[in-house]
Structure 1
Amino acid sequence: MYDEQIRRSARRYDVDALDFVHPLETDLFSAVSKGAKRARSIILTGTAGDGKSRLCGRLWTELGGSSDDWTANEIYQEITAEIAGRVRTVGIIRDLTALPSQGTYGIWEGKNALLEEVNKSFFSVDPDWIFVVAANDGQLLDTWRRSAEVPLSQESYELLEACLVEGQPASQGDVAFFNLSAVSCARIIDLTLEAIIAHPGWAAAYAEEEAEGFFSEVCPIRRNFEIMSSPQFKSRLRQLFELMDLNELHTPIRRVLLLIANMLLGHPSAKDRLMSPADIRPFVRAGKAHIADIHQNLFGANLTSARRESLEIFEFLNRFGIGDETTNRIDNILVFGPSDETLRPYYESLVVGAFSAQALDDLSALRNDYLERPDATQEGEHRFLNSLQAQRRAIFFQIADEQSDDLRLWDLTVFRHAGEFLRDVVKPLRDVGKANRSITARLVNGLNRIFTGMLVTTDRELLIAAGLSGSAAGLSQILVERISVAPRRHERIELRDGNLPTLIVQIDSGVEIGLKLNLVRYEFLMRVAGGALPGSFSKECHEDILAFKSAILAAFSRSRPREETKDLSFRILSLNGEGEPVDDVIEVNFA
């Protein structure tokens, strides 16, 4: 799925190529417009599949170039255009790492000569030549690092490093820098789904449906498309992608396209495990059409385990553990729902609505057999128990938001507090800039239990404590300071919006220490606050929180140096019967 190949395939089959406006496209075009304030070279970076080549092609046509010329597979191409008030030459390097060392690039001989001119453009106030350079983020800096002999390479390396590492916005600096990996995965899934669902090819498929074949009412591709188009499914899928953003997991456009193709066409018995129209009628007649279920394909269940594990998009989605995690209530609905009057409404809305008629018949037969003979078969567990994972996955996408608390939706995932994280932390911070203080209090309670190594119940103040062996001691009973959750003079603890929600601990005027809360850290702190042992969920998270404590202690030592006296005193923490912290002062006298 490379841009050039997609364009060629679209022309060969006479179909419209998938198209949508990239979130950075408007800013990119503005940087090379007639009315731009200044002419600057452009860096397009990101991971493989983020759409760099496609944006280069869109920029080429925006500057007046022919789309036929662009598909010629040339790595370097030039065009003249009026930019920032006068005509200039624009050189486009569509893949910097694939640029051969030897070759003719416009008027320059060899890669180093071209790089030297690129370097000059970075530091020229009004360059005659500007360049658009596309390169994967892992190789961008490496190219300049290995080109030390080229003039200005060191200066260019430092400039690009600042842009890439510090996240300098594209509107500042000596280069227009666009990091495509910084675009939200949730935004990408929105745009991609919208473009695919609105594609005119689906109308033609409905118009040309084949009896008991492709795009008939029993066609699994049609069923998957209609489920994918439903607001409920799109909303829940978007939540998963937003949570991936909040877990610092980036998914490029190419992988999103791969995922959606697998969602629509996946079938474990098809060639390459993806259905074509010719497969539909044989699968329907053999009673195997329902195996092509979008809720399973979304997690790569149609693929071999080796193939599934090699594609990071499926690995990311399977980290949620959807289908493996459950609650007693959900399993009771699946097992006893058809016969229990109380559970039947849930069964009909959640299970009947999620599966085709053939799938429901198979599940009903398995359920009845399991209830009559629940013992394991010779092959292992009863087949009905093996089917529960698929049913839970389908239910996860069926539960509406208004039912999520009643049915404990997010308990069907590893991240039980994910819904709360989206609803009570991320959304309020983005909308109004603050979250409910009760959330901060619970986070503080989790921090206190890790900071002290004791089952502290207080959530009204943060206990900064150290141990005799240092800040990383398992049990820390030497109290350094208490910081109130409610703002007090120059002290405060609050949540702030940013790339990730950040817990800020302010210990003095202008002295702040922040802890970025990704999904895993938030889940970790909330579980510890709920009674889980710190080491039982994530050793890495535990070490991150201890490092946060060390940073706070270091800030205290800088801002509040201890006065030298002949007397030493320590405050030793202990807990009363309710788990509230109390401290006793111990004085040490020495002559």
Structure 2
Amino acid sequence: MNGLASVEHGSAPPSSAWVRFLRTYGPTPNNLTMFDEYVAGAVGRAKVQPIALSTPMLDPMKAHVASEKPGSMLIAGTAGDGKTYHCRALWTAMGGDPRAWAAKGNIKEHRLADGRLAVFIKDLSEFNGEESDAPLARLEKSVLGGDDTEIVILAANHGQVLDRLRDLGRRQGRNHPLRKPLQEFFLQAGQEPERLAVFDLSRSVGRMALEEVVAAVATHAEWNNCARCSLKSDGKVCPIYENRERLLGVGDGAQLARRLGDLVEIARLNGQHLPVRDLLALCANMILGHRDAKDGLMSCGEVAGIQEQGAVDRASVYGNAFGANLPKRRLADRPVFKAMSAFGVGDETTNGADGLLVYGKDDVKLAPAFARLIGSDPVYGATPRLLSAQDKYLEGEEAARIDGGAAAFMDMLQEQRRRLFFTLPLGEDGYPFWSMTVFRFAGEYLEMRAALMEKKAVAEAARGRLVRGLNRVMTGLLIDNVDRIFVASSGGFTQSRVSVLCDTEAPSRRVNGVGMAIKIDPKTVRPLLDVSLAQGAGNSVAFDLTPVRFEFLSRVAEGALPGSFSNECLGDMLAFKAKLLRKAELIRGRSEEDDEEEAGADGSSLTLNFIDIEQGGHGFSRPITVRISE
């Protein structure tokens, strides 16, 4: 604990039981409250009100049961999505006895008013190997066997239910008939199997889930007890309460929560699934995190020692958002902190931001901005420790250059960059906050997606940058065109980095059914590029535009070399180009069949379109006819 003592002055602080309970949701080495089965016991021991989260799929589940539709129900998702939580809520809503649910046993039965027996299988993972055969047989009997006497309500992870069905089918010498349709439903958003209602909780997690978790934690009634706590009286700053207030939006109009939501949304759109369990761990860590506390998470008993040592700033809510209070090993074990650390906040920066942080206090031109953006926050901004380390560093004191002094100051700079990401006002001239992440164009991506969702036009700057990036990847040339898209090849090898032969070209904006359109994919709810090479259905190729692919194209458009940013993205783009080349070949083949004269008069010449670049970067295709000798 680095010498940080747990001190109790007189009676325990009034919110200590609540903070202890909240701590169990955080990324501790053994946080059993992550699992719904342990929540009731933890609440009883702490004698506090539980954290109440909505069950967004409960109403449609209740409606399905009330409709008396034949068949059964699968509550699916990944670990931490709230499958057992929903299952328990449905049991209670249907009149099930909470004491019966809490009793031992993974299968619970309840007779419904319509005569059916509701069979709840709380968690398929609780069955080892062939133990799951019996409950799966009951599911199959209801879904495929036409048995309407039971409705089986099964909670299971995606991969787990598919694996168990595959193993069951193998032991029975067949391909289980439920496995393939379920796999298509999970992976390709296909149709759910007949007589099996599937409620996939993994599709309901996103920004709205984070907002609900933040509200449930930060507005919990137990915080009212802090009003009579001595740890926040007489001008003292309690880091736990301070972090809670900041997460709640006090003082910044909820900007911290909005930026946090942006990060979670970008991670989700990149394909990273952050279940509710992880979002609870994130919020608990943001409020309770401290680098010197036991397990990196504060208790009320440690706050007095933190205050006495002048170490409140080491509980910065902004660093805690990225797990700066946790050892690297524990960070690697938590998907939410792996996702957050992938943004590089703290490591990425700009010259302007670092100049402000290092020289702003003493520079006449920078001093007003320093006072406004850093000096105005004495708790986590211009703290005595930061200002002292800054003076020693700038004055060149030997102690600041050796024995880790410079490293300590660099660590403080990293912490201040994280704080700036969350606190810089929107539109702050000279200090763009997204430039302090690896996703410098994430703001434009979110704006483009919001515009598409609202059926509005995409900003011309974003569209033009996308087209410029596409052209530079397709050709390997520094082309600045934003009016057309060149689909180029090198004469046979589509994966070539430099391609100067223009196979075909299309307008950068869809006109009369030809050209590029930017739209929302209804399955992924992400933007996609749809490039049509000819009028009519089946003549276009779509490209899923994730945030990282948008970043790649934007960086290339601004001058980055494709391979220096992401070889994976480059491979994806070259595969997209190959599909366009193949589509163009198919269209030409159909055209030649319709009009044989276009195939060439006698086959003695060949016309190739070479891409040339004019001064200023404008590219154009120049036809060259080559005579073929016999």
Q: TM-score, normalising length from structure 1?
A: 0.92
Q: Work out whether 1:384 is the aligned partner of 2:409.
A: yes
Give secondary structure in 1 for the equivalent of 2:486. strand
2:280 corresponding residue in structure 1? 257
Asked if the contact 1:445–1:457 (Cα under 8 Å) also holds between the matched residues in 2, the reply is yes
Q: How big is each residue's C-alpha offset from its partner over 1:553-581, in whole Å with a ceiling of 9 and x where there is no partner?
A: 11112222174552432212222222222
Give, as a single letter, the amino acid of the residue that structure 1 aligns with 2:119: G
Q: 2:125 aligns with which of 97, 118, 134?
A: 97
SS of the residue aligned with 1:356?
coil
Task: From 177, 180, 205, give the equivalent of 1:158.
Answer: 180
The structural deviation recorded for 1:239 is 1.1
Contact in 2 for aligned 1:505/1:514 (Cα 8 Å):
yes
Cα deviation for residue 100 of structure 1 reads 4.1
Deviates more, 1:443-452 or 1:157-166: 157-166
Query: 1: CA distance between counterparts of 2:278 and 2:375?
Result: 31
Work out which of the residue numbers 398, 401, 422 in structure 1 matches 2:446: 422
Q: Distance between the aligned counterparts of 1:443 and 1:10, measured in 2? A: 52
Q: Spell out the pairing of 1:103-502 with structure 2 (5 A cutoff).
A: 111-123=132-144, 127-148=148-169, 149-150=171-172, 154-168=176-190, 173-207=194-228, 209-211=229-231, 217-230=236-249, 231-356=254-379, 360-373=383-396, 377-380=401-404, 382=406, 383-403=408-428, 406-423=430-447, 425-432=448-455, 434-498=457-521, 499=524, 500-502=526-528
Offset, 1:495: 0.7
SS at the partner of 1:32?
Answer: helix
Paired with 2:239 and 2:423, the residues of 1 have a C-alpha distance of: 18
Residue type of the alignment partner of 1:356: V
Q: Comparing 128-137 with 430-439, which one deviates more in the overlay?
A: 430-439
Conservation of the 8 A alpha-carbon contact between 1:97 and 1:143: no
- In the alignment, the residues of structure 1 paired with residue 262 and residue 380 of structure 2 have an alpha-carbon distance, to the nearest angstrom, of 28
Structure 1, 173-182 or 496-505: larger mean CA deviation: 173-182
Q: What's the secondary structure of 1:23's corresponding residue?
A: coil
Distance 1:247 1:89, change over 3 A: same
1:80 aligns with 2:111: yes
Question: What's the CA shift for 1:489?
Answer: 3.0
Corresponding residue number in structure 2 for 1:59: 90
Structure 1 residue 3 corresponds to structure 2 residue 36: yes
SS of 1:586's equivalent in the other structure is strand
Paired position in structure 2 for 1:577: 615
Q: Which runs of 5+ in 2 are unaligned?
A: 1-33, 593-598
Higher-RCO chain (CA-CA 8 Å, sequence separation at least 6): 2
- Which residue in the other structure is 2:77 paired with? 46
Q: Which one-letter code corresponds to 2:328 in the other structure?
A: S
Determine helix, strand or coil for the equivalent of 1:53: helix
Could you say if the C-alpha distance between residues 468 and 59 of structure 1 is closer, same or farther in structure 2, counting changes exceeding 3 Å?
same
Is residue 442–residue 459 contact of structure 1 (8 Å, CA) maintained in 2?
A: yes
Letter in 2 for 1:163: F
Deviation at 1:410, TM superposition (A): 0.9
Separation of aligned partners in 2, 1:195 and 1:55: 17
Residue 51 of structure 2 corresponds to residue 18 of structure 1: yes
User: Quick one: distance in 1 between partners of 2:265 and 2:547?
Assistant: 10
Q: What is the CA–CA distance in structure 2 between the aligned matches of 1:581 and 1:426, rounded to whole Å?
A: 29
Matched length: 574
Gaps of 5+ in 1: 103-109
What CA distance in whole angstroms lies between the structure 2 residues aligned with 1:527 and 1:196? Answer: 38
Structure 2 distance, partners of 1:6, 1:122, is 33
- The 2-side partners of 1:275 and 1:529 are apart by 46
Q: Secondary structure at the match of 1:135?
A: strand
Given that 1:440 and 1:494 are in contact with CA atoms closer than 8 Å, whether structure 2 keeps it comes out as no
Residue 587 of structure 1 corresponds to 626
**TM-score scaled by length of structure 2:** 0.86
* RMSD over equivalenced CA pairs, Å: 2.3
CA contact (8 A) 1:354 1:398 kept: no
Does the 8 Å CA contact 2:119/2:153 hold for their aligned counterparts? yes
How far is the alpha carbon of 1:80 from its aligned partner? 1.8
Note the alpha carbon deviations across 1:340-393, whole angstroms, 9 max, x for none.
444333223322344418961111111111221177622356233331110111
In the superposition, relative to structure 1, how do residues 58 and 588 fare at CA in structure 2: closer, same or farther (>3 Å)?
farther
Partner of 2:529: 503
Per the TM alignment, residue 397 of structure 1 is displaced from its structure 2 partner at its CA by 1.0
Identity over the aligned pairs, expressed in percent? 31
In structure 2, the residue matched to 1:29 is 62
| Pair 1:68–1:354, CA change in 2 (3 A) | farther
Task: Name 1:106's counterpart in structure 2.
Answer: none
Query: Is contact 2:331–2:338 with CA below 8 Å preserved after alignment?
Result: yes
Residue in 2 that maps onto 1:529: 557
Structure 1 residues 455 and 80, CA, compared in 2 at 3 Å: closer, same or farther? same
Deviation of 1:211 after TM superposition, in Å, equals: 4.4
* Alpha carbons of structure 1 residues 285 and 212: separation in structure 2 relative to 1, 3 Å: farther
